[in-house]
């Protein structure tokens, strides 16, 4: 037994020697919740039970309290196409279905596990239940299953494309839309659970190909009143059809004015109100069954969001839940007022994380659906709503150290990056007139601005660099400087393939330019450049448009000694003590690892932290090695910041969450290791 214990102890010691590890700290997930929702379904037998998919991460979430809190259930299987929709068994809230254009999946345990069913089905468009039977509209006919999807039989319409299917909750009728590409869509009805079908009408559709699938909404208190609209999620090529209303069960139809582009959901309310969810435009309301629509209320947060789905709660009159790119919103007064309801939804798609350089401490996070601010170290967050419909930042690059409410970021038009500035803490943003844009360059145009720097000694001085391609002005790299928010500017000597710019403090005020495989230095504000970086590793896989995971990543400059540099590369960390002229590796305990970011403690420049492919590491000056800081979830450390006002706090931002740690918990361990 002693020998066995000795061998186990030796193995543990050897394992520990392979990768030095700092004492396991306490990582705290901040409460930045939200994310883009791809699909939402409500359990008919338990309306407080909801299921949702995170659009970009493939995770399934469940709520059992009507959307107040959300919990991860697992990941959806890789199905090759975007999930078109979800459906819940009408009798068992734990049985769930998800489908794409190519595959149907079923979960028997509320989204924890999935298995494919219906392999013989030729492309599912919609599901509906009636009389204990599951019906599936497909590209070639209508199918039925009496065993929850284990086996299927052709039910109706032969080889016709059945593009839509729904069950009228008031009459029990099944409605189906079937037809061929060159034949108008025909509405069919069955009153005997799909055994027989009768033609009701021909939907008045324009001659469009790929018009999308029909979706139905039934008025809960006006029998025979129903609505049909057309779209297909995840297929940009599909056209949007009209919005139609029938007051006689589908026998005749009237085309209504649509409340806006990208109509995604309709909810008729018992009081006669019709609510419309728009993917681009939020929520609209009609008080006359869709004949007219109220103007957009810019003070309400939901109209500024994307709404893909709306659900009601029969047991709670007035309660609504909206889902879309901004996550979830809940209303308890029929849609007059809304509040975010995202607790537990960890799918924010973080794009950038910043901390105030001076003054009162605050965090700024830019996510897919907006800018968020926290003044209590991430315990609570406030979404900063724009006060005007102007540009919004894709990310935030810098905060003015003298006036931290002034900040700079970039947005994108679809063709061109453009620089934006806010002087009121992010409530409003305005584009700055960088002299490279697509507005005056014709339809063939592309402007990329990956490089930006703010002079820390003179924060009004801005540098922007990138590439342009236009029909009239040709193409090439550019680099410009402005001291007055681009009222005027100066063209500088550009660097081909420029990825990033970094400005140093001090009398020399060196400016560094980083490409995939080269480090450049300018001592005259970008007018001339010198290639530096002797001793850096050879970068592989580089081109002018090289991947950011190859070559050189980011440069960090010691705030107390501008000659001391740290360069993150795909082959580890390299350091310079002569302003970048020469570099040496600093990779003990780290190799081999791709490193994306090096962060310097603003109060102690010997304290360094890196976000690497193998995790988060901390430099031990005493042991001259990197220590793995355990406990951070995988993929959560691509963005690192230290709060200058509270330098013992480190934030690690990943694609879905932001985590916080007290650095003081690490230092006693290092002292004991000396």
Q: Specify the CATH number for the domain of residue 190.
A: 2.120.10.80
Q: Is residue 480 part of a domain?
A: no
Q: In this predicted structure, what is the pLDDT of residue 80?
A: 66
- How many domains are contained in the chain? 2
Range of the domain at 124: 118-256
What are the tens digits of pLDDT across the range 573-627? Answer: 999 999 999 999 999 999 778 898 999 998 899 999 998 888 889 999 999 999 9
Q: Which of 16-25, 51-60, 387-396 has the highest mean pLDDT?
A: 51-60
Under 8 Å between Cβ of 622 and 615: no
Q: Is the confidence at residue 115, as pLDDT, over 60? A: yes
Q: In this predicted structure, what is the pLDDT of residue 302?
A: 60
Of the candidates 170, 157, 204, 158, which has an alpha carbon nearest to the alpha carbon of residue 185?
204
Question: What percent of the chain shows pLDDT beyond 70?
Answer: 88
What are the tens digits of pLDDT across the range 326-370? Answer: 899 999 998 888 888 999 999 888 899 999 999 899 999 998 778
Q: Is residue 293 part of a domain?
A: yes
Residues 124 and 252 grouped into a single domain: yes
Q: In this predicted structure, what is the pLDDT of residue 10?
A: 33
Residues 244 and 124 grouped into a single domain: yes
The stretch 643-661 carries a mean pLDDT of 89
Residues 211 and 236 grouped into a single domain: yes
Q: In this predicted structure, what is the pLDDT of residue 7?
A: 32
Boundary residue ending a domain (347, 367, 396) = 347
Tokens of 394: 């894709």
Q: In this predicted structure, what is the pLDDT of residue 487?
A: 95
CA 583, chain centre distance (Å): 37
The stretch 116-142 carries a mean pLDDT of 93
Q: Is residue 172 part of a domain?
A: yes
Q: Under DSSP, is residue 8 helix (H, G, I), strand (E, B) or coil?
A: helix
Of 2-16, 169-183, 206-220, 613-627, the least confident: 2-16
Q: Is residue 386 part of a domain?
A: no
Query: Cα–Cα distances in Å, from 395 out to 49, 349, 362, 398, 461?
Result: 35, 12, 17, 10, 20
Write the Ramachandran bin of 615: left for phi over 0, alpha for psi from -120 to 50, otherwise beta: left
Q: Torsion over CA of 613, 615, 618 and 624, rounded to 10 degrees?
A: -60
| Cα–Cα distance for residue pair 170/186, rounded to 1 Å | 22
What are the tens digits of pLDDT across the range 543-561? Answer: 544 444 456 889 999 999 9
φ, ψ of residue 516 in degrees (nearest 5): -60, -35
Edge-to-edge strand ranges of the sheet holding 352-355: 352-355, 363-367, 370-374, 382-384
| Cα–Cα distance for residue pair 108/92, rounded to 1 Å | 9
Residues 57 and 144 grouped into a single domain: no
Q: Under DSSP, is residue 116 helix (H, G, I), strand (E, B) or coil?
A: strand
Under 8 Å between Cβ of 379 and 660: no
299 confidence band (pLDDT: 50, 70, 90): low
Q: In this predicted structure, what is the pLDDT of residue 185?
A: 86
Count of residues in the chain: 674
Q: Is residue 123 part of a domain?
A: yes
What are the tens digits of pLDDT across the range 491-547? Answer: 999 999 999 999 998 777 899 999 988 999 999 999 999 999 999 998 776 754 444
| Cα–Cα distance for residue pair 171/458, rounded to 1 Å | 72
Q: In this predicted structure, what is the pLDDT of residue 465?
A: 97
Q: Is residue 489 part of a domain?
A: no
Global pTM value: 0.84
Tokens of 80: 């090759």
Residues 96 and 132 grouped into a single domain: no
DSSP state of 302: G
Residues 239 and 327 grouped into a single domain: no
Of the candidates 327, 271, 333, which has an alpha carbon nearest to the alpha carbon of residue 302?
327
Residues 166 and 243 grouped into a single domain: yes
Residues 43 and 144 grouped into a single domain: no
What are the tens digits of pLDDT across the range 426-479? Answer: 988 999 999 998 876 666 899 999 999 999 999 999 999 999 998 777 899 999
**Residues 539, 544, 546, 548, CA torsion sign:** positive
Q: Is residue 3 part of a domain?
A: no
Of the candidates 11, 15, 16, 19, which has an alpha carbon nearest to the alpha carbon of residue 591?
19
Residues 73 and 54 grouped into a single domain: yes
| Cα–Cα distance for residue pair 150/133, rounded to 1 Å | 12
Under 8 Å between Cβ of 641 and 651: yes
Boundary residue ending a domain (223, 256, 289) = 256
Residues 220 and 136 grouped into a single domain: yes
Tokens of 636: 């959560």
209 confidence band (pLDDT: 50, 70, 90): low
Q: In this predicted structure, what is the pLDDT of residue 441?
A: 63
Boundary residue ending a domain (239, 256, 273) = 256
Under 8 Å between Cβ of 323 and 338: no
What are the tens digits of pLDDT across the range 155-200? Answer: 999 889 999 999 999 999 999 999 876 566 899 999 999 999 999 9
- Higher-pLDDT residue of 498, 210: 498
Residues 249 and 272 grouped into a single domain: no
Q: Is residue 64 part of a domain?
A: yes
Q: Is the confidence at residue 663, as pLDDT, over 90? A: no
Q: Is the confidence at residue 385, as pLDDT, over 80? A: no
Q: In this predicted structure, what is the pLDDT of residue 21?
A: 52
Residues 197 and 271 grouped into a single domain: no
Average pLDDT, the chain: 87
For residue 201, whether the previous peptide bond is cis, meaning omega lies within 30 degrees of 0, is: no
């Amino acid at each position: 037994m002693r020998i066995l214990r000795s061998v186990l102890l030796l193995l543990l010691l050897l394992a520990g020697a392979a990768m030095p590890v700092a004492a396991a700290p306490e990582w705290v997930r901040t409460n930045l919740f939200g994310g883009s929702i791809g699909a939402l379904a409500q359990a008919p037998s338990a309306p407080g039970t909801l299921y949702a998919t995170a659009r970009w991460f493939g995770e399934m979430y469940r709520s059992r309290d009507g959307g107040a809190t959300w919990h991860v259930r697992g990941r959806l299987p890789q199905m090759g196409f975007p999930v078109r929709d979800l459906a819940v068994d009408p009798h068992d809230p734990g049985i769930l279905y998800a489908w794409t254009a190519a595959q149907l999946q079923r979960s028997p345990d509320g989204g924890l596990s999935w298995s494919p069913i219906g392999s013989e089905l030729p492309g599912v468009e919609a599901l509906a239940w009636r009389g204990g039977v599951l019906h599936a509209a497909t590209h070639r006919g209508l199918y039925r299953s009496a065993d929850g999807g284990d086996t299927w039989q052709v039910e109706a319409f032969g080889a016709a494309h059945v593009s839509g299917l729904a069950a009228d909750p008031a009459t029990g009728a099944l409605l189906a839309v079937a037809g061929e590409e060159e034949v108008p869509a025909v509405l069919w009805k069955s009153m005997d659970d799909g055994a027989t079908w009768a033609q009701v009408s021909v939907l008045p559709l324009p001659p469009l190909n790929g018009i999308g699938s029909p979706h139905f909404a039934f008025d809960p208190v006006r029998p025979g009143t129903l609505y049909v609209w057309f779209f297909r999620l995840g297929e940009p090529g599909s056209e949007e059809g009209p919005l139609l209303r029938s007051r006689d069960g589908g026998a005749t139809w009237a085309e209504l004015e649509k409340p806006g582009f990208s109509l995604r959901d309709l909810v008729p309310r018992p009081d006669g109100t019709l609510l419309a969810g728009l993917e681009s435009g939020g929520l609209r309301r009609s008080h006359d069954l869709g004949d007219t629509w109220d103007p957009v209320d810019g003070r309400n947060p939901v109209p500024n969001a994307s709404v893909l789905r709306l659900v009601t709660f029969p047991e709670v009159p007035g309660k609504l839940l909206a889902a879309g790119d901004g996550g979830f919103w809940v209303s308890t007064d029929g849609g007059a007022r809304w509040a975010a309801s995202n607790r537990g939804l960890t799918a924010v798609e973080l794009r950038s994380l910043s901390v105030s350089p001076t003054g009162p401490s605050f965090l700024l996070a830019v996510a897919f659906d907006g800018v968020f601010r926290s003044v209590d170290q991430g315990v609570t967050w406030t979404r900063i709503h724009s006060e005007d419909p102007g540009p919004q930042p894709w990310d935030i690059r810098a905060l003015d150290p003298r006036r931290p409410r002034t900040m700079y970021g970039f947005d994108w038009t679809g063709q061109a990056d453009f620089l934006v500035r806010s002087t009121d803490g992010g409530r409003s943003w305005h584009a700055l007139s960088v002299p490279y844009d697509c507005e005056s360059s014709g339809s063939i145009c592309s402007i990329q601005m990956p490089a930006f720097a703010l002079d820390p000694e003179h924060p009004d001085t801005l540098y922007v660099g990138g590439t342009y391609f236009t029909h009239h002005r040709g193409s090439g790299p550019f680099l410009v400087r402005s001291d007055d928010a681009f009222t005027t500017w100066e063209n500088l000597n550009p660097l081909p393939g420029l990825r990033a710019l970094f400005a140093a403090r001090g009398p020399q005020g060196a400016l560094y330019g980083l490409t995939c495989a080269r480090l450049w230095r300018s001592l005259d504000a970008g007018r001339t450049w010198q290639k530096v970086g002797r001793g850096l590793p050879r970068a592989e896989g580089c081109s002018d448009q090289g991947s950011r995971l190859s070559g050189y990543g980011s440069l960090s400059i010691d705030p107390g000694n501008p000659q001391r540099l740290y360069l993150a590369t795909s082959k580890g960390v390299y350091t310079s003590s002569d302003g970048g002229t020469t570099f040496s590796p600093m990779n003990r305990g780290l190799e081999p690892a791709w490193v994306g970011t090096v962060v310097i403690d603003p109060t102690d420049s010997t304290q360094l932290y890196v976000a690497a492919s193998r995790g988060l590491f901390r430099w031990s000056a005493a042991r001259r090695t990197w220590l793995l800081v355990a406990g951070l979830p995988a993929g959560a450390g691509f963005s690192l910041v230290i709060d200058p006002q509270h330098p013992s706090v480190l934030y690690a931002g990943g694609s879905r969450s932001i985590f916080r740690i007290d650095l003081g918990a690490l230092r006693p361990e290092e002292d004991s290791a000396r």
